[in-house]
A and B are shown apart, each in its own frame.
Chain A
Amino acid sequence: MSSVALARGIRARALKMVHRAKASHIGSALSISDIVAVLYGDVLRVRPSEPAWPARDRFILSKGHACVAVYAALAARGFITEDALDQYGQDHSMLMNHISHKVPGVEFSTGSLGHGLPFGVGKALAAKRRGQDWRCFVLLSDGEWGEGSNWEACLFASHHGLDNLVAIVDYNKLQSLTSVAKTLALEPLADKFRSFGWHVDEVDGHDHDALRRALAAVPRQPGKPSMLLAHTTKGKGVSFMEGSVEWHYRSPNDTQLAQALSEVAAGGPAA
């Protein structure tokens, strides 16, 4: 399956899960669907039949609220069954509304922001100290950079030369109430990371070829951790969700779901 087809499947599944559970954060999940598809389709060295395979690449979703995209990818790759996705957000389900390590293939539970990168730093450091060659990928939101723990981790990662660590920022420029620019402006973000000693790439976070090129070979620069600023659109793929703050919290009704699924199946909103 191509990563483009995988992304389409992730979007459709994410929409159905959020609709069924009447849950939030569909805009955030659609924002990262292409990144997750490229990671699970082409980049991550994993074995679905052996989720704890020691040589696997580690993937941490720091923006745990967007978990439906990852759950859908795990089902597509065979870590969990497609049927399991129907339990998302239901009573006693292992598929919580913020990503859960109870799900096979999930390394770390998050939900409170600012935790994924320090945890990933610890994993990357462990690999370095033991001479292991697996990589650690951490996907963060943009608003999450308000958390000081991330900047602490940034300092540490470059100081210790963790070039087996890749942080990806889902830079959709929207937070939960308004834009990032109006909340706690991040620009010039790439310069900030470079000044912290990271190798930085910027890509269109919905361009699969560009994502693949940026993630294919790690380290991007020996001796430096890698930062990928992925410019994205919140709610990507559904016309009435794209760039809209309200879909951080809303879930689609039946009519909205049907339209959203139709647009996703067509590869995105009509031009």
Chain B
Amino acid sequence: MRNAFIDELVALAAVHPQIALVVGDLGYSVVEPFADRFPDRFINAGVAEQNMTGLAAGMASEGYHVFTYSIANFPSFRCAEQIRNDVAYHQLPVTVVAVGGGLAYGALGYSHHAVQDYALFRSFPNLLMAAPGDPMEVRACMRYLVEHPQPSYLRLGKAGEPSFHDSVPTVSPGRWLAVSPPQAQPQASRTVLCTGATLALAMQHWRQAADPALAVHSLPLWGMGCKSGQAEQVERFAHVLSMEDHLRDGGFGSWLQEALCVRPDLLPRLRADALDPVVCGTVGSQAMLNELGGLGRTLSSFWR
């Protein structure tokens, strides 16, 4: 996902002179293609994320679309107030890019685990969440955000994630993307609705199940502003399982449940697959931590 991000950013910056990249002294062997090609629009703000975010807002107020970039919690939790007050309140086009969503930096420890970020940012009224499920969705989200500049939070995985789309899909806030082959969709009565890199887990299970009654969807763009429209998408399925590499409380599944409050009759159709807080403070590989946190456990029973 990191490489898809930088490739797409370079391509977009070539035709959008307002795009700038500000990094918090991270991105070695990732950000160089942008820095080399657009030195006037690249800034390493150093290990100073609050200033990085504040100055990004200042640049955005002068017409730039600024992407701030760092690992997991540093450009997000560290400067939550700058994002809330400077960026989102002023509705400035700053995209906060967090690399290593969920437990991608598993062995690096709790400081690098982003498992509460949805809870924080989905409570910001003017902030759009972007949690792509694969490199193609990264590119799709980037294109949407540049075409629709606004305060946004882009949560990336790390590197090496597989692609599940044949081409870059078109995404829009709140709209589910069919990821399992669309020709199977009419027969499907159950779907897994993923956000972020959990898409790989869902697709792995889906392939093993090989059941036409099962589908997988991704929702890469969501947030407080796009709850409406969820009910009619849920209504198409007898059962929907939300899936996220984030703690259950305040996360994506909770968001979907809130969105269905207008249709409480649909709530029994929902289940949620998310992480248990037992992962907090434990280190290991991403796969080991996801398993420890119970991610995929509900998915296994959901397919039966």
Task: List residues of A whose CB falls within 8 A of some B CB.
Answer: 101, 107-112, 114-115, 117-127, 129-130, 148-149, 152-153, 155-156
B8 close to chain A: CB less than 8 A = no
In angstroms, Cα B81 to Cα A153, docked, is 16
Asked if B286 lies at the interface with its beta carbon under 8 angstroms from chain A, I say no
Give B246 Cβ to nearest chain A Cβ, in Å: 27
* A122 touching B59, Cβ below 8 Å: yes
State the interface size on chain B (CB cutoff 8 A).
Answer: 26
A113 CB, min distance to chain B CBs, angstroms:
10
A108 to B90, Cβ gap below 8 A? yes
- Contact A149 to B58, CB < 8 A, known contacts A108-B90, A109-B85, A118-B82: no
Q: Is the interface of B mostly helix, strand, loop or mixed?
A: helix
Let me know if B58 and A125 touch, CB within 8 A. Answer: yes
- Is B61 interfacial (CB 8 A cutoff)? yes
Q: Are A112 and B40 in contact (CB under 8 A)?
A: no
Q: Is the interface of A mostly helix, strand, loop or mixed?
A: helix
B interface residues, Cβ below 8 angstroms from A: 40-41, 43, 45-46, 48, 50-51, 53-64, 81-82, 85-86, 89-90
- Are B85's CB and A118's CB within 8 A? no
Closest CB in chain A relative to B75 CB, distance in Å: 14
CB atoms of A152 and B51 under 8 A apart: yes
A123 to B64, CA, bound (A): 10
Answer whether A121 and B54 are a contact pair too, CB < 8 Å, given A101-B90, A155-B46. yes
| Complex interface: chain A residues within 8 A of B89 (CB) | 109
Could you say which residues of chain B place their CB within 8 Å of the CB of A122?
54-62
Identity of the chain B residue whose Cβ is nearest the Cβ of A127 in the assembled complex: B62
Q: List, in ascending order, chain B residues with CB within 8 A of A155's CB.
A: 46, 48, 51
List A contacts of B61 (CB < 8 A). 107-108, 119, 122-123
Q: Cβ of B58 and Cβ of A120 under 8 Å apart?
A: yes
A123 vs B66: C-alpha distance in the bound complex, in angstroms?
A: 12
Q: Contact between A156 and B51 (Cβ–Cβ < 8 Å)?
A: yes
Beyond A101-B90, A152-B50, A156-B46, whether A118 also contacts B62 by CB under 8 A is no
Known contacts A101-B90, A123-B61: does B85 contact A153 (CB below 8 Å)?
no
Q: Closest CB of chain B to A61's CB: distance in Å?
A: 14
Q: Across the interface, which residues of B come within 8 angstroms of A148, CB to CB?
A: 50
Docked Cα-Cα span, A148 to B90, in Å, equals 22
- Enumerate 21 A-B pairs (CB-CB under 8 Å) in ascending A order: A101-B90, A108-B61, A108-B86, A111-B85, A112-B81, A114-B50, A118-B50, A118-B55, A118-B82, A119-B57, A119-B61, A123-B58, A123-B59, A123-B61, A124-B58, A125-B59, A129-B41, A152-B48, A152-B50, A156-B51, A156-B55
How long is the Cα–Cα vector from A115 to B63 in the complex, in angstroms?
19
Residue in A119, A125, A129, A156 whose beta carbon sits within 8 Å of that of B86 in the complex: A119
Q: Which 7 A-B pairs have the closest CB atoms?
A: A122-B58, A118-B54, A122-B55, A152-B51, A152-B48, A126-B62, A149-B50
